[in-house]
Structure 1
Amino acid sequence: MASYELNAFDRRFQSISLVGAIEQLSPYTLNVGYWLRDPNQLIIYPDMVASNPRMDFLWEKTCFEIFIGVQGEDYYREINLSPSQAWQAYQFEEYRYPEQMPPKVADDIELNQLKRTHYGLNVSLDLTEFMLANKLKWSDLFVGLSAVLDITQGQQLFAMQHSGQQADFHNKRDWLHVF
């Protein structure tokens, strides 16, 4: 298991700390945990929903995200995970393309489990169809973790790294985990 401290785009913001951990379970299961420290209880959580529905526009509220890239390829997947227990997976052919809103749903990634915990959020994803259809091995993949946190003073954007002038979770340079 590898863990990463996610950094706020606003470097002055130190009130919340966020760590993401990634674990590959053979042959095609990806587990990710997010650990939050919010001592001042600044985060605003969306209302809970039942049975893990797929929903669009989750990033408009507190949302955790996983980006899965493929070495040497332009296409990638974005998975949005809400503490409400809703989720969605999107497919992109290249950087933010196609540009439709909401993005095109990725039916080749399935949710095994998503739950909000006392420490943050835990998810287990089934990548079987995505990996088999594209003839991928774990060593072909790289992953980025990020989060949009609604807080009482607005929104804070967290990622493994912010290498651009603007916060951009789709920037593959900031997806640091390799298998």
Structure 2
Amino acid sequence: MASYELNAFDRFFDVSLVAAVEQISPYTLNVGYWLRDSNQLIEFPPMVAGHPRQDFLWEETCFEIFIGVKGEDYYREINLSPSEAWQAYQFEEYRYPEDMPPQAAYDIDLNQLKKTHYGLSVSVDLTEFMLSNKLKWADLFMGLTAVFKTSKGTHYYAMQHSSPNADFHNKRDWLHVF
């Protein structure tokens, strides 16, 4: 299991976030997000039942996983709300197609999503994505991000920020390799 401290783009230090990744063979990915928000600044969306797919989750507090394929332009984005709603999107290349909301990716499925006392825990099934694209774990790399709506504004957390603006789609910042 690998873990990463995610950093706020605007150097907001009131909230800290650590994410851990665990690959469960053959096609399951588990990610845990541990949050420290001592002053309870984060605004959480209301809970929903049944883990529905919903668009525009990033407009509220949201955790995200980006999955890239070495040597390829296409990638997937998975949005995970503390409300326990989720969505997966497919892109052919950097932010393309430009549809809003983006095109849903039905080759990724949710095993489990749970808001916890420490943050968020998720298990996603990559079987169809990996098999249809003939991928092995070694072909993938990943970025972990989060958007926090707080009483002090919106803050963007990522493994690293190499763009002049917060840009979760920048593959240079997707640091986890399998």
- Short-chain TM bin: over 0.9
Residue 72 of structure 2: SS of its match in structure 1? coil
The equivalent residue for 1:65 is 64
Spell out, residue by residue over 1:86-107, the C-alpha distance to the aligned partner (whole angstroms, 9 max, x if none).
0000000000000010000000
Query: Is 1:162 the counterpart of 2:157 in the alignment?
Result: no
Query: Is 1:120 the counterpart of 2:119 in the alignment?
Result: yes
The equivalent residue for 2:110 is 111
Identity, % of aligned pairs? 78
> How many Å separate the matches in 1 of 2:96 and 2:124?
23
The equivalent residue for 1:97 is 96
Spell out, residue by residue over 1:134-169, the C-alpha distance to the aligned partner (whole angstroms, 9 max, x if none).
000000000000000000011000000000100000
One-letter amino acid of the counterpart of residue 151, structure 2:
T
> How many Å separate the matches in 1 of 2:97 and 2:87?
17
The equivalent residue for 1:3 is 3
For 1:24-173, what aligned pairs fall within 5 Å after superposition?
Answer: 24-173=23-172
> How many Å separate the matches in 1 of 2:13 and 2:157?
11
One-letter amino acid of the counterpart of residue 103, structure 2:
K
Spell out, residue by residue over 1:107-132, the C-alpha distance to the aligned partner (whole angstroms, 9 max, x if none).
00000000000000000000000000
> Which structure 2 residue ranges, 5 or more long, are not aligned?
none
One-letter amino acid of the counterpart of residue 8, structure 1:
A
One-letter amino acid of the counterpart of residue 3, structure 2:
S
> Which structure 1 residue ranges, 5 or more long, are not aligned?
none
TM-score, with normalisation over the residues of structure 1? 0.99
> How many Å separate the matches in 2 of 1:64 and 1:176?
16
> How many Å separate the matches in 2 of 1:39 and 1:3?
21
Question: What's the CA shift for 1:173?
Answer: 0.1
> How many Å separate the matches in 2 of 1:17 and 1:153?
14
TM-score, with normalisation over the residues of structure 2? 1.00
Q: Detail structure 1 runs of 4+ shifted over 4 Å in the superposition.
A: none
Spell out, residue by residue over 1:52-108, the C-alpha distance to the aligned partner (whole angstroms, 9 max, x if none).
000000000000000000000000000000000000000000000000100000000
Residue 78 of structure 1: SS of its match in structure 2? strand
One-letter amino acid of the counterpart of residue 154, structure 1:
G
> How many Å separate the matches in 2 of 1:91 and 1:164?
22
Aligned pair count reads 178
